[in-house]
């Protein structure tokens, strides 16, 4: 991390997200270390911002207390926003991850709501909005990301009517019947409608949002266009809601598979596992939306009933630590670790696990090697906005080998039709899908992987960002003049 601060706080593209692309960690000697932040948002937007001149990223640096000074990284200017311990408890762990996250993911666990959480959500959103408005140029585009910052578009508009504002929701948007349960639901909708363009992962998310705007606010909706009454004497504004399925830097991931070191690492991984006939892999943040419990249940039953022989088939489960102070996440970790322990107790032999479990983060090269070593990858989310792991696996298989088992409840299911589709709630169906994948003939694997690769290589994160920003450019010009493209 270079020590100097950016000298020109007037950026043409300003990304605002809860997290910066890097998290600060304090080492035992008091020094600060910067590590890649968890999650798909960072994976995607980091690649996008590498190709942008004069880009800024406003977000939290991942630790409580004062914000570090702005700094430059990878040609981007990073502007940290401070969150103190109370903000973290109420805005981040509370309203964002205790209320919105479960509500927007089909109420897999029960959402909680406290008015103090809401107050903190409002004040934290205001802090992010002010920080973004302060570094945007007169012709800037401000691109706000995800459910933690749904009030930010409107807050920026109140401050900076001269900029274009886009919002992208990385997670599902719930059906209006569920969304209606949210206290402060209309404030959330009005916050989002401060944007010129609101993007969603799946068409069903866009339609859910449009239905909520129509039913709860009574706004006129024509196709994707919402007519939003202006404040006071201000005229009607048009806001667009549209589907933009996010992706990955497909070419970079694919290119990594050519790296001799990564290839050797993949081969070494299989050797370390004792050269099993088949390797099955799961990669997830340790989140209850990811269906890890269902997957382990299916795996345990397949071992118990003798359908899988632990001497020739191994499962690796990589689970990134996530939101560890939120009760539902603590419980999930306990349950997952108990189940892995039980399965290994029943089926592992000395030097060979039945489930190899790793609860930590790895670098990109390791992740690619892992995908290259995997005969089957299990993406069994109970609900997921997109799921980039599914796309990363496909991009890592130019050899056209390997099978992707994909939940129909992950956003990726709309595009990756050639995967082995499952309803992860149905344990018998999940077991059958795993067995089918393990037995799939090479030719069938190639046919499926060719079709999946076509989809992932053609639709990468660069074209996703380009499509979103181009559509945003087409919205009403805040200066009343044509903007150079
Ligand atoms: P989410 O955004 O909910 O975490 P995604 O599947 O969309 O889910 O994105 C997860 C991202 O995090 C992917 O880019 C994946 O490679 C990465 N990732 C997941 N687990 C790890 C890990 N243990 N170490 C490093 N990266 C990880
Ligand atoms: O993509 C979903 C998402 O929630 C992002 O908003 C977030 O950055 C990421 O997953 C990881 O979660 P967190 O920031 O809470 O660790």
- Residue 89 makes CB contacts below 8 A (sequence gap 6+) with 325
Query: Which numbered ligand comes closest to the C-alpha of 357?
Result: 1
What's the CA-to-centroid distance between 388 and ligand 2, angstroms? 12
- 140 and 14 in contact (C-beta within 8 Å)? yes
> Residue 83's beta-bridge partner residues?
65
- 445 and 417 in contact (C-beta within 8 Å)? no
Query: Which numbered ligand comes closest to the C-alpha of 358?
Result: 1
Which band of pLDDT confidence, cut at 50, 70 and 90, is reported for residue 342?
very high
Tell me which residues are annotated as active site: 170, 384
Share of the chain above pLDDT 70, in %: 97
Query: Which numbered ligand comes closest to the C-alpha of 286?
Result: 1
Ligand 1 pocket check for 362: Cβ under 6 Å = yes
Mutation choice for ligand 2 from 23, 39, 172, CB with most ligand atoms inside 8 A:
39
Ligand 2 pocket check for 170: Cβ under 6 Å = yes
CB half-sphere exposure, 47, CA atoms < 13 A: 20
What's the CA-to-centroid distance between 306 and ligand 2, angstroms? 38
Does residue 8 carry a pLDDT above 70?
A: no
Mutation choice for ligand 2 from 15, 16, 17, 19, CB with most ligand atoms inside 8 A:
19
- 117 and 99 in contact (C-beta within 8 Å)? yes
Ligand 1 pocket check for 19: Cβ under 6 Å = no
Q: Provide the token pair at 214.
A: 């129509």
Ligand 2 pocket check for 323: Cβ under 6 Å = yes
What's the CA-to-centroid distance between 81 and ligand 2, angstroms? 16
pTM for the model: 0.96
- Residue 28 makes CB contacts below 8 A (sequence gap 6+) with none
* pLDDT tens digits, one per residue of 163-209: 999 999 999 999 999 999 999 999 999 999 999 999 999 999 999 99
Mutation choice for ligand 1 from 21, 43, 253, 364, CB with most ligand atoms inside 8 A:
43
Question: By alpha-carbon position, which residue is closest to atom 9 of ligand 2?
Answer: 39
Give the ligand 2 atom nearest the CA of 42: 8
* pLDDT tens digits, one per residue of 17-42: 999 999 998 899 988 899 999 999 99
What's the CA-to-centroid distance between 322 and ligand 2, angstroms? 9
Q: According to the model, what pLDDT value does residue 480 have? A: 65
- Residue 413 makes CB contacts below 8 A (sequence gap 6+) with 406, 407, 419, 421
Average pLDDT over residues 112-119: 98
What's the CA-to-centroid distance between 153 and ligand 2, angstroms? 19
Closest Cα partner for 198 from 476, 472, 470? 472
Ligand 1 pocket check for 172: Cβ under 6 Å = no
> Residue 357's beta-bridge partner residues?
317
The span from the CA of 90 to the CA of 117, in Å, is 4
**Kind of pairing, strands 76-81 and 71-73?**
antiparallel
- 149 and 125 in contact (C-beta within 8 Å)? yes
* pLDDT tens digits, one per residue of 227-280: 999 877 778 999 999 999 999 999 999 999 999 999 999 999 999 999 999 999
Share of the chain above pLDDT 90, in %: 91
Question: By alpha-carbon position, which residue is closest to atom 23 of ligand 1?
Answer: 361
Query: Which numbered ligand comes closest to the C-alpha of 383?
Result: 1
What's the CA-to-centroid distance between 97 and ligand 2, angstroms? 9
Question: By alpha-carbon position, which residue is closest to atom 7 of ligand 2?
Answer: 39
349: left (phi over 0), alpha (psi -120 to 50) or beta: beta
What's the CA-to-centroid distance between 239 and ligand 1, angstroms? 32
Q: According to the model, what pLDDT value does residue 15 have? A: 98
Average pLDDT over residues 408-427: 98
Mutation choice for ligand 2 from 87, 92, 144, 146, CB with most ligand atoms inside 8 A:
146
Closest Cα partner for 391 from 451, 434, 318, 453? 453
Query: Which numbered ligand comes closest to the C-alpha of 60?
Result: 2
What's the CA-to-centroid distance between 41 and ligand 2, angstroms? 7
């Amino acid at each position: 991390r270079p020590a100097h601060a950016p000298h020109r706080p007037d950026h043409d593209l300003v990304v605002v997200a809860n997290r910066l692309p890097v998290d600060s960690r304090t080492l035992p000697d008091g020094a600060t270390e910067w590590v890649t932040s968890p999650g798909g948002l960072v994976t995607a937007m980091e690649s996008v911002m590498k190709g942008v001149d004069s880009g800024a990223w406003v977000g939290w640096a991942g630790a409580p207390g004062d914000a570090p000074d702005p700094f430059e990284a990878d040609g981007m200017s990073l502007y940290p926003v401070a969150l103190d311990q109370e903000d973290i408890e109420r805005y981040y762990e509370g309203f964002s991850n205790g209320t919105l996250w479960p509500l927007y993911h089909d109420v897999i666990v029960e959402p909680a709501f406290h008015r103090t959480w809401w107050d903190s959500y409002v004040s934290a959103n205001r802090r992010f909005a002010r920080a973004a408005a302060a570094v945007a140029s007169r012709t800037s585009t401000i691109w706000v990301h995800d459910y933690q910052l749904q009030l930010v578009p409107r807050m920026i508009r109140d401050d900076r009517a001269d900029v274009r504002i886009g919002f992208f929701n990385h997670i599902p948007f719930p059906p209006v019947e569920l969304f209606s349960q949210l206290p402060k639901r209309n404030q959330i909708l009005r916050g989002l409608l401060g944007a010129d363009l609101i993007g969603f992962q799946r068409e069903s998310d866009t339609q859910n949002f449009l239905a909520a705007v129509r039913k709860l606010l009574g706004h006129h909706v024509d196709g994707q266009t919402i007519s939003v009454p202006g404040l006071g004497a201000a005229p009607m504004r048009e806001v667009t809601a549209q589907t933009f399925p996010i992706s990955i830097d497909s070419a970079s991931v694919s290119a990594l598979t050519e790296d001799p070191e990564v290839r050797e690492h993949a081969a070494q991984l299989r050797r370390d596992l004792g050269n099993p006939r088949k390797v099955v892999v799961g990669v997830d943040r340790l989140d209850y939306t990811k269906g890890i419990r269902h997957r382990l249940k299916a795996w345990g039953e397949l071992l118990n009933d003798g359908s899988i022989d632990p001497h020739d088939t191994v499962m690796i489960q990589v689970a990134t630590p996530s939101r560890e102070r939120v009760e539902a996440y603590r419980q999930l970790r306990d349950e997952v670790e108990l189940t892995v322990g039980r399965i290994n107790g029943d089926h592992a032999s000395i030097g060979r696990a039945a489930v190899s479990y790793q609860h930590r983060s790895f670098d990109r090269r390791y992740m690619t090697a892992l995908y290259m070593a995997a005969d089957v990858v299990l993406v069994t989310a109970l609900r997921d906005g997109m799921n980039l792991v599914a796309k990363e696996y496909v991009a890592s298989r130019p050899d056209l080998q390997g099978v992707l088992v994909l939940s129909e409840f992950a956003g990726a299911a709309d595009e990756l039709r050639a995967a082995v589709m499952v309803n992860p709630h149905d344990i018998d169906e999940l077991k059958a899908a795993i067995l089918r994948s393990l037995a799939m003939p090479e030719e069938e694997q190639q046919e499926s992987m060719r079709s999946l690769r076509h989809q992932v290589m053609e639709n990468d994160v660069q074209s996703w960002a380009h499509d979103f920003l181009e559509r945003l450019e087409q919205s009403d010009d805040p200066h009343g003049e044509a903007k150079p493209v």
